[in-house]
Amino acid sequence: MLKRLQLMLADSAWFVPFLYGVGGIALTFLTQYFGSFFRELLPEIIYLDKDSAASVLSSSFTSLMTMMTFSFSTILVVLTTYSSQFSPRTINNFLTNSASKHTLGLFIMTTVYGITNLFLIRTSEEDAVLASGISVLLVVSSIWAFVKFIQTISVSIQAERLLSSLHREALSVIENQRRAIEEEDMYIVPKRAIHMFEGQAVYASRTGYVQLFSSEKQENHDIDFESVVAVGDFVAKGDILGYWLAEEAPDLDVFQIGEVRSSIQDPAFVIEKLSEIALKGVSPGINDPNTAIHAIHYIGDILRELSRLPAGDFLFSNDKSNWHAKRKTMEATLFEAFAPVKTYASHDIFVMASVFEAIRIARLQAHPSLDETFEDFIDYFEEALDLDEFHPREKAFLTNQMTQARKIQD
């Protein structure tokens, strides 16, 4: 349940502004019905007669609408930039940015507070009201938030900041997995061959991406479960997700399936975003190979953390049952991250060199069970690249980078 709530909050751009809107209504109720109780405690200057208060509220509402119009126009420009310059899948990273959500939330709160008080102020029986004073404080706070929002916008459209943000996002997911293993909340076991089990199959109830594996639902259940899909996989309605190894299947929904892919349990999704940014960088329309090289280096560092875990699937056990959760292999992660780069940037020796550099970085702390996977992938790249078509100096440069990627530090 907590993971599903985390997923909803992480992918929701409306939840925080909605809370601010509710807060505006609550603040209206407090100032309308309890404003007189605070008159002896608060400065008299913030209390105005009803006509003056209505004028202040109207002016505040008008000025705030101007800021909101500018903010929404700026957001549309940034969303266009994210989609065209980086990747359509990075748009959600901006929409769920905490600074953006809180700024829009404060705007909504001030707007809701101002318009509701403007509607109710005529019904007040007091000769002086508190609403206008609170509204001024909210508008001043909104101006500060607006300045902060502009600063956030100017930073967020910088490629280096986006790459760094995605890098931290992936490392956080991997760190959570490593911590769970250290605390023995889950284990990594050798991969099991996919075969038909004697049990009850679990079918996908809808088409979409596997977003979560809800291991917390295991609790005290004594029925084993074996998954045949990994978090991040795309499934169609009716696809087999796994098997309950029992004659009767429990009424448990262990997978969360949604329209969009989530990185909460899937660091490979962040790697995919970085790979797409790299592809955008080498495209003729963008022609920014340095951004592509930076993105590939970040992929290498994410793989360095990911490869510290041994190969295998996740196992959750409560001493009564074992739940096997399929995990994406390092081979598949490497191929999905770098094969598209090879396809579209094989002519750029510096981008290709950065791929070998990323593999070298990934192997710095790699678990021995992944050595063969890395070697096979380097062999694939060596065979796929026609080194003879390069200038001898370019060939020597790429060969040297490839050789360094094959070295393993003790």
**The whole model's pTM is what?**
0.82
Angle at alpha carbon of residue 38, lines to 37 and 43, rounded to 5° = 145
Tens-of-pLDDT digits for all 410 residues of the chain?
A: 555 565 565 566 677 888 888 888 888 888 777 666 665 556 666 666 667 777 777 777 777 788 778 877 888 888 888 887 788 778 777 777 777 788 888 888 888 888 887 777 766 666 556 667 777 788 888 888 888 888 888 887 788 888 999 999 999 999 999 999 998 889 998 887 655 556 788 899 999 999 999 888 888 788 889 898 999 999 999 999 988 887 777 888 889 898 888 888 899 999 999 999 999 988 887 788 899 999 999 999 999 999 999 999 999 988 888 899 999 999 999 999 999 998 888 888 999 999 999 999 999 989 999 999 999 999 988 888 888 888 889 889 998 999 999 865 54
DSSP at 288: -
Which residues lie closer than 8 Å to 284 by C-beta, 6 or more apart?
none
Token pair belonging to 11? 């992918």
Nearest-10 crossing angle of helices 98-120, 15-34: 30
DSSP code, position 158? S
Position 34 scores a pLDDT of 67
The tokens for 244 are 């309950």
Token duo for residue 279: 């592809």
Q: Are 351 and 293 in contact (CB under 8 A)?
A: yes
Category of 186 on φ-ψ map: left (φ > 0), alpha (ψ -120 to 50) or beta? beta
Helix locations, 200-266, DSSP H: none
> How far is 291 from 185, CA to CA, in rounded Å?
38
Amino acid in the structure at residue 240: I
The two tokens of residue 184 are 């023995």
132-161 residue pLDDT tens: 777 778 888 888 888 888 888 888 778 888
The rounded distance, in Å, linking the Cα atoms of 130 and 121 is 10
